[in-house]
Structure 1
């Protein structure tokens, strides 16, 4: 696809590029090694030559775009280079067919990737370091050398670290992180300096909390071609035809094989138009509908009892006096606290549930149990099975009762239940939409219950969708040890602990998952790790966003106490670790692959509360984004075509995809790796010049400042500019790809995952990766009977934690959406934009031409617009008790009354002065997400952290007078 097929647009862009380089009239001198300039650009006599030249090239390399496409795609591209400039890119349509029964993965790509060759040269590109000269946010900059910038940053870092501590430097890690070369640099820097990295997963609303509560993890997903085996596909909590552009054909092709698609959504969205049945539902009421379906499954006798008894906690017994699981330690002297009890129907007696395996052997657990048992102290207590408690709960969710809550006709609820129980293999598309609702955890738990009751988990073509992620497992092996030579020794320290846990009955998955949790507890003496913390909690406490929820008790959150009390209790008990603690304010923030002021709900509070605390704000990016406009330094990062790396992908498209450097970095740009290496070198030089050797972290670890560069680069083994070498090493250290060498995968551009990665963010898939068939997650649990990483070691629907008991969430239930932001009649829902990946293309000239509106707009139903005298294209003001903003109205027949919809990622500067779409989103913390001290609710990488919620935001809108508002 040509990035400049339009001659006028191409000439305009070319002229702008030449002008920015002070090269008049297209006459450009060839670059020399001494000049450091761009390669020669040919002299064109007319626009025809410009057009023809696009179809000639000097070389073609395989590359991709290392940012958070997530559910959408991770695609290999041919990148065409001429005279040192990338002219265009095309999809690499060479994905081999897995087997004749399944559709292949071609083509892969989207319109964003198809125009990045223009995006990387557009006027937003920066090519040299910039230093702020006016007040933050004034837009006044000066060009400085790398040496000036890095020395100044290094001196500030040393001052802060010496005076206040190692944990005062924060890495703002955004959804563009690659978990490859860039994160290798940041990971080693964080490990060596004990600075703090922010985990953005919950902070971008991708926490999948209900999935964690149920499965003890969030990461597991099938390959997209597995949907071809499904009999029924539920589009529930996602809009995949709109957002999963390269994946969509798998869903529609499954219909040729006979699959049905049912779309459950408030609005008649693009996915609903491709479905066999659309079920309109009130926003935020999915739990009510799901529990009504569960009611019909149980009442109709459709429970797959063999699956439920073996794989779930439904047969396990709960004490009626404490509302906690009955444990072996309760009934036996010397009994174990982590062993659960059930009632065996064969022997009609109390028995210990299997622990090391899910296999029941001779046991046949009774499901509906209500008994009296004798504890070891002689006390008699009533116990009930989780299934018995669940049956009582489901009695409240008849189709008629649920209909009043969710707005779906009882007949339609019963029809949906019949469709599900009559299908052999049911799957769903659940992206990260429901978890952006305040009670989204309850919706996910309720939906997962449908799949468990019907046995639609861990089978080909059937399964509940978790969070999709795959990453090579060589990254940790590179980032953590002092050197590659000491890697075996470093990880060898864990062997006795690993062996001890395996002997005690823990699984490899549990042990690897705990490695990700260790990163949230700095100061580990056994294995020095990078330090992470929850981005949501950090912005809420240190950034002041929590102040927006002072009136949260008026919003109907359903809390039993003031919201602040839950937070205080959680922090005091260290249930949710916050690094640094509340009494240690951050002083330096380095933004890597991030754009916080665009992304964070209530981000205006950050400027008011956090920004004054920060002595230095550094943004690493290739353009001036919303956050960079309020930074002290902007360091120019080379875009993906200008460096070599590898990145995480997802099981949906299980192909490791790499970028091979197509051209040299433009101007003075550097890769993320090179910038962090150069920063470590500047810190080391300045430390030596100032006679500084080392400091202690707050937890007592030594942080060596005078050898930081030497340690980060492994004594110069991996220097600035060694991106290819680092990527090769990570690839070779991993165990997921052995068929192709690094040089071969660079040539091909992609390679199918061969095995399950053994690292914290991917091991949850727990399945094989066959070369000739689809990927089916959780098969190690369902087929091989490996326990789940929950406290019950099963798919768990009863969460025995004090916060859950206090808030009546021990079992799944429905709670009405709160009135976040005030008692207003409209709900502001949202979705992933089709025309950008986060904010990266949001101000792209080409993408804006494809948008419904070339500026921020809100979709409004016809009924709501008419009531307020609003017509399509009007400027409107959006407000609630928290804030306000202005945008255009797009009146839509597809929305239900009371619902508005605003797609994400608009930059702050694209709004008129006086707020943006985040200004009305207070996103209060949910108390159950502050829970901890529990085997599977502990915070770790990507999971167990606090979420942000914007889908329940309540607003009002009004038409603004004629003309563009001031």
Structure 2
């Protein structure tokens, strides 16, 4: 019969029938998790079919999405179906308009993770009220407390720490789930007002793209996915898009039908390799050697696009043979500038200053391959050579025979790859964040980027090296920084004189905006008050004890790191010279950690060390989440955060899918859950209340800024304009402040669920795309440099391959070269590589019952048939994975797709999913790479999401032994 029921009755009905009827998993899980939240009569059903029938009716449909780090596939609009205040299911919204008739559209968008979130948000892991630890940290003993009780206690601890020890002792552990929207607005305003510290996780999670920064002066640039349809050749090199870009994959596969060739370059036969026209299997960690072998042939066979190289790169610039540094105008004449570089002009047959304000060469005709003598201003004559001359010499070592020996590919394959690239008119790459997770990943990226530059495949349709794909509305920074909405439009007014002067001096707007990102790592700026960000890598290394291995003076030799001195001496030099940001400094111990959209105990390489070193220093550990993850298990408080369908927001996306995507609250937060914005604002309210009770007013930050604790809530909310339940108002304010979206109102965009970016955001994490955003065509990054001749944001203002920083010269990395993967963890026969899992977005779905049904539910390590056979291991056996650093237990997944000597662990397994002691991060020591600590340089400096030290796991050395199943625990 037909049953008419309200929300409470609906939930009670589920609870009543869940134990006796064969029902959908969603129904059972919802009943188990939330039946205790409702009261009332239980409707009667004639059969379980009634529940199915009612599932296909609803009260409303809301457009929403999942505001976490889908990254390269971010993000997708979904229809969310609601009945009696409960989300039933979600479906992909297939309404993305076709850009033009010659291009495929962006439909459909979504993946299996998004398709089950209605199940995930109601499963057994959901928490709906604040929890306080009552046993020792990690004991799993909790008690339910009220919001007031929890926040008063946290506020009092915060006030004690801030007044007695300093504003920089409170640290925000910000994970990959930051949205750069409403949630980030809360944390950003709190950090700006209190000068507490936000951890930049980009290098720490291995996404730093250091080699991209070294080459281009930035990392954020990528094309729209439909522009790959314009490529003649796509290189899957450092990426596995069929697995990790599910909504985008049809663009790459569809391009094949119009004649595009795909080459996959990867050790293992991954899902993307199965779709390629050619798969080149090379030894793990040798990508740089293969790339340099291709560059060798391009140069030796005369296939260099000289016009492009001479105009766009630093290769025609002169380098001194006596110092191995670039020749500057200041070397040649009194009053000359050190930021003006020199080339050899064939027209005048003399040294001339390279163009500074533009890349246009005008009447100059630079010589690409030159060795000359010049007279310095003091009368001394010295030899100089072009960077290209030095490069040609370096490339001599990378013959096809030498590369074949290093990489395990044939000489003919090196030549074939070169021929494929040089014959194609438009070559593009899929390069995600695989290479930068290798210790020498920066060298790999520089070498691959060189192929694209030597062949002129940059800044035009279908052609280009892929950077870090990121787009975000440019209203978020204004909202975070402004005292009030009346002042928001002019929040950067104090910077106008500086901006005007820099533009007049020849700097580009990109350079200026990127420097605003650098300022966020330098608190106390006299012109503008900013949130404080610092290197997550260095914070965990120094304050968390992860640097234990880096302190070993013999480590470089034991692990074959190819260093000239102990690692720690490089770190000490970088910190002493303030080349890298570390807040609080090494002599200021952190006292409070607030974890927001993060899970550091899961993702941190060697995370057990944090419990030993960092945790005893912390007086309060607060985790904001909707479930108890690996980090939450060791927290003092768990504050329940509403997941995405229960709040309104917007967030960053990527140029690959250039659509701002929104969430509209489909239901009210379950139980006592609050949004991230709400939690942070309520914390500020309690800090203000307790400060006034205790007579605390204003304290000074370490840099001398005033922090008004007694008005924190008033200031954060702009005098009550944006209170704790005002997520929608905050999202609208950010949207309205953005110059990137003007054609649709906020209400129209929220209803539709998405809006195409209309112009380049003038914002540090997005401006690097440097291109137009046409309404009816593809997005082609870097065209402002290549087409319009705007200088690049590097020291030389060109694509830069020669780096004359002392660290690079000391370690013979001034030019790209190959260095063998180190033996991180000890001299063991297997290299443990990794990859993004198909079945989760970071750890969010890793213990989801539905996702676990779609693959092997135990943590598994993939190994080759040969390696398994030699160890007596069969598929499905429990094995112990170990090295000198640690060990863990996992299932063996024996596969023909792995090369002998390679093993692979897909990421995101929660620590508690590993039986026994240890987890996959226990064997990854991740020593620092000195060149990533370099600073005091025009473009090798720390900024938001780039220029900071990284952590690595891809070249961890291990061995594997079979263990009896009984012994795994």
Band the TM-score falls in, shorter-chain normalisation: over 0.9
Per the TM alignment, residue 489 of structure 1 is displaced from its structure 2 partner at its CA by 4.8
Of the three residues 900, 918, 922, the one matched with 2:921 is: 918
1:894 maps onto 2:897 in alignment: yes
Contact 1:548–1:602 (CA under 8 A) maintained in structure 2: no
Deviation above 4 Å: which 4+ runs of structure 1?
Answer: 3-6
Tell me the distance in 1 between the aligned counterparts of 2:498 and 2:522.
17
Q: Which residue of 2 aligns with 1:38?
A: none
Q: Which residue of 1 aligns with 2:831?
A: 827
Tell me the distance in 2 between the aligned counterparts of 1:383 and 1:14.
73
Of the three residues 5, 15, 21, the one matched with 2:37 is: 21
SS of match in other structure, 1:493:
helix
SS of match in other structure, 1:117:
helix
Q: Which residue of 2 aligns with 1:839?
A: 843
Question: Which consecutive unaligned segments of at least 5 residues does structure 2 have?
Answer: 1-13
Question: 1:521-563 CA distances to partner (integer Å, 9 max, x unpaired)?
Answer: 0111210000000101100000000103435221001110001
Per the TM alignment, residue 961 of structure 1 is displaced from its structure 2 partner at its CA by 1.9
SS of match in other structure, 1:476:
helix
Question: 1:184-203 CA distances to partner (integer Å, 9 max, x unpaired)?
Answer: 00000000000000000111
Tell me the distance in 2 between the aligned counterparts of 1:146 and 1:43.
37
1:939 maps onto 2:955 in alignment: no
Of the three residues 878, 881, 888, the one matched with 2:881 is: 878
- Compared CA separation, residues 349 and 588, structure 1 to 2 (3 A): same
SS of match in other structure, 1:90:
strand
SS of match in other structure, 2:685:
helix
Per the TM alignment, residue 332 of structure 1 is displaced from its structure 2 partner at its CA by 1.2
Tell me the distance in 2 between the aligned counterparts of 1:605 and 1:45.
57
Matches within 5 A, 1:431-830: 431-549=432-550, 550=552, 552-553=555-556, 554-830=558-834
Per the TM alignment, residue 347 of structure 1 is displaced from its structure 2 partner at its CA by 1.4
Tell me the distance in 1 between the aligned counterparts of 2:479 and 2:966.
57
Tell me the distance in 2 between the aligned counterparts of 1:566 and 1:513.
26
Tell me the distance in 2 between the aligned counterparts of 1:636 and 1:153.
15
Tell me the distance in 2 between the aligned counterparts of 1:512 and 1:784.
19
Tell me the distance in 2 between the aligned counterparts of 1:102 and 1:254.
10
Per the TM alignment, residue 577 of structure 1 is displaced from its structure 2 partner at its CA by 1.5
Tell me the distance in 1 between the aligned counterparts of 2:66 and 2:35.
27
SS of match in other structure, 1:270:
coil
1:384 maps onto 2:385 in alignment: yes
Tell me the distance in 1 between the aligned counterparts of 2:737 and 2:965.
63
SS of match in other structure, 1:855:
coil
Contact 2:33–2:126 (CA under 8 A) maintained in structure 1: no
Per the TM alignment, residue 13 of structure 1 is displaced from its structure 2 partner at its CA by 1.8
Q: Which residue of 2 aligns with 1:859?
A: 862
Per the TM alignment, residue 22 of structure 1 is displaced from its structure 2 partner at its CA by 6.4
Q: Which residue of 1 aligns with 2:157?
A: 156
Per the TM alignment, residue 785 of structure 1 is displaced from its structure 2 partner at its CA by 0.2
Question: 1:897-956 CA distances to partner (integer Å, 9 max, x unpaired)?
Answer: 000000000000101121000000000010000000001011000000011100000001
Matches within 5 A, 1:369-408: 369-408=370-409
Tell me the distance in 2 between the aligned counterparts of 1:541 and 1:552.
17
Per the TM alignment, residue 18 of structure 1 is displaced from its structure 2 partner at its CA by 4.4
Question: 1:260-295 CA distances to partner (integer Å, 9 max, x unpaired)?
Answer: 000000001111110000001000000100000000
Contact 1:73–1:247 (CA under 8 A) maintained in structure 2: no
1:311 maps onto 2:324 in alignment: no
Contact 1:73–1:109 (CA under 8 A) maintained in structure 2: no
SS of match in other structure, 1:7:
coil
SS of match in other structure, 2:61:
strand
- Compared CA separation, residues 763 and 44, structure 1 to 2 (3 A): farther
Tell me the distance in 2 between the aligned counterparts of 1:20 and 1:604.
36
SS of match in other structure, 1:584:
coil
Tell me the distance in 2 between the aligned counterparts of 1:951 and 1:17.
39
- Compared CA separation, residues 304 and 42, structure 1 to 2 (3 A): farther
1:952 maps onto 2:955 in alignment: yes
Contact 1:73–1:245 (CA under 8 A) maintained in structure 2: no
- Compared CA separation, residues 44 and 780, structure 1 to 2 (3 A): farther
Tell me the distance in 1 between the aligned counterparts of 2:91 and 2:831.
41
Contact 1:216–1:789 (CA under 8 A) maintained in structure 2: yes
Question: 1:446-498 CA distances to partner (integer Å, 9 max, x unpaired)?
Answer: 00000000000001000000000000000000001222223355411100000
Of the three residues 25, 43, 47, the one matched with 1:9 is: 25
Q: Output the TM-score relative to the length of structure 2.
A: 0.97
SS of match in other structure, 1:689:
helix
Per the TM alignment, residue 54 of structure 1 is displaced from its structure 2 partner at its CA by 1.0
SS of match in other structure, 1:188:
helix
Q: Which residue of 2 aligns with 1:35?
A: none
Contact 2:489–2:737 (CA under 8 A) maintained in structure 1: no
Tell me the distance in 2 between the aligned counterparts of 1:812 and 1:507.
27
Q: Which residue of 2 aligns with 1:904?
A: 907
Tell me the distance in 1 between the aligned counterparts of 2:38 and 2:96.
43
Contact 1:191–1:480 (CA under 8 A) maintained in structure 2: yes
Q: Output the TM-score relative to the length of structure 1.
A: 0.97
Per the TM alignment, residue 11 of structure 1 is displaced from its structure 2 partner at its CA by 4.1
Per the TM alignment, residue 230 of structure 1 is displaced from its structure 2 partner at its CA by 0.3
Question: 1:747-767 CA distances to partner (integer Å, 9 max, x unpaired)?
Answer: 100010000000000000000
Per the TM alignment, residue 345 of structure 1 is displaced from its structure 2 partner at its CA by 1.0
Tell me the distance in 1 between the aligned counterparts of 2:908 and 2:22.
27
Tell me the distance in 2 between the aligned counterparts of 1:652 and 1:609.
41
Per the TM alignment, residue 406 of structure 1 is displaced from its structure 2 partner at its CA by 1.1
SS of match in other structure, 2:710:
coil
Tell me the distance in 1 between the aligned counterparts of 2:24 and 2:425.
56
Contact 1:186–1:676 (CA under 8 A) maintained in structure 2: yes
Contact 1:695–1:704 (CA under 8 A) maintained in structure 2: yes
SS of match in other structure, 1:876:
strand
1:83 maps onto 2:84 in alignment: yes
Tell me the distance in 2 between the aligned counterparts of 1:12 and 1:375.
81
Tell me the distance in 1 between the aligned counterparts of 2:22 and 2:737.
45
Q: Which residue of 2 aligns with 1:33?
A: none
Per the TM alignment, residue 72 of structure 1 is displaced from its structure 2 partner at its CA by 2.4
Tell me the distance in 2 between the aligned counterparts of 1:68 and 1:249.
21
Tell me the distance in 2 between the aligned counterparts of 1:755 and 1:44.
55
Question: Which consecutive unaligned segments of at least 5 residues does structure 1 have?
Answer: 30-40
Matches within 5 A, 1:158-307: 158-307=159-308
Tell me the distance in 2 between the aligned counterparts of 1:130 and 1:295.
61
Tell me the distance in 2 between the aligned counterparts of 1:815 and 1:142.
53
Contact 2:880–2:888 (CA under 8 A) maintained in structure 1: yes
Aligned length: 948
Tell me the distance in 2 between the aligned counterparts of 1:490 and 1:741.
23
Contact 2:26–2:119 (CA under 8 A) maintained in structure 1: no
Tell me the distance in 2 between the aligned counterparts of 1:943 and 1:227.
26
- Compared CA separation, residues 203 and 42, structure 1 to 2 (3 A): farther
